[in-house]
Amino acid sequence: MPPVQMLRLALLAALLSTASAQAHDAAVPVQGRAWLAGDHHVHSRYSVGYTPSPNPGEPPTPVIAGDARYPIPTNAQMAVRHGLSWMVSTDHGGPNHSKVNREMAYPELLRSRQEAPGLIQFYGMEFDTPGADHSSLIVPHTDDEREVLYEIESRFSEREPWPADPGRDTEPKMLEALEHMKSVATPPVVIANHPSRSAKGVGDYGQDTPAELRNWNDTAPRIAVGMEGAPGHQASALKPDGSVKPEGARGGYRNAPTMGGFDQMTARLGGFWDSMLGEGRRWWVTSTSDSHRHYTEGGSDFWPGEYSKTYVLARHDYDDILDGLRNGRVFVTTGDLVSELDVTLAPARGRRDGGASIGGELHVRKGQDVRVTIRLRDPAGANFGGRSPAVERIDLIRSEITGPLADRTSDANPHARVEKRFTAADWKRDGEVLTMSYVLQDVRQASYVRVRGTSSAEQEPTPDPAGEDPWSDLWFYANPVFIAVD
SS (H, E, C) 264-323: HHHHCCCCHHHHHHHCCCCCEEEECCCECCEHHHCCCECCCCCCEEEEEEECCCHHHHHH
Per the CB < 8 A criterion, the answer to whether 455 and 474 are in contact is yes
Q: Which amino acid appears at position 313 of this protein?
A: L
- Tens of pLDDT, residue by residue, the chain (486 residues): 333 233 333 344 444 444 444 443 444 456 799 999 999 999 999 999 999 999 888 999 999 999 999 999 999 999 999 999 999 999 999 999 999 999 999 999 999 999 999 999 999 999 999 999 999 999 999 999 999 999 999 999 999 999 999 999 999 999 999 999 999 999 999 999 999 999 999 999 999 999 999 999 999 999 999 999 999 999 999 999 999 999 999 999 999 999 999 999 999 999 999 999 999 999 999 999 999 999 999 999 999 999 999 999 999 999 999 999 999 999 999 999 999 999 999 999 876 566 999 999 999 999 999 999 999 999 999 999 999 999 999 999 999 999 999 999 999 999 999 999 999 999 999 999 999 999 999 999 999 999 999 999 999 999 999 999 999 999 999 999 999 999
Total domains in the chain come to 1
CATH number, position 89: 3.20.20.140
Report how far residue 109's alpha carbon sits from residue 107's, in angstroms, rounded to the nearest whole number: 5
DSSP-derived letter for residue 95 is T
Q: What's the domain range around 89?
A: 3-485
Tell me which H or E stretch contains 20. helix 3-27
Q: How many CB atoms lie within 10 A of CB 455?
A: 23
d(CA 280, CA 87): 29
Nearest CA to 410 out of 284, 285, 274 is that of: 274
- Interatomic CA distance for residues 428 and 417, integer angstroms: 24
Distance CA 322, CA 446 (A): 27
- What 3-state DSSP class applies to 388? coil
Euclidean distance between the first and the last CA atom of the chain, given in angstroms as a whole number: 23
> What are the distances in angstroms from CA 264 to CA 55, 195, 253, 270, 404?
45, 9, 10, 11, 21
Q: How far apart are CA 291 and CA 89, in angstroms?
A: 10
Q: How far is residue 471's CA from residue 459's CA, in Å, rounded to a whole number?
A: 18
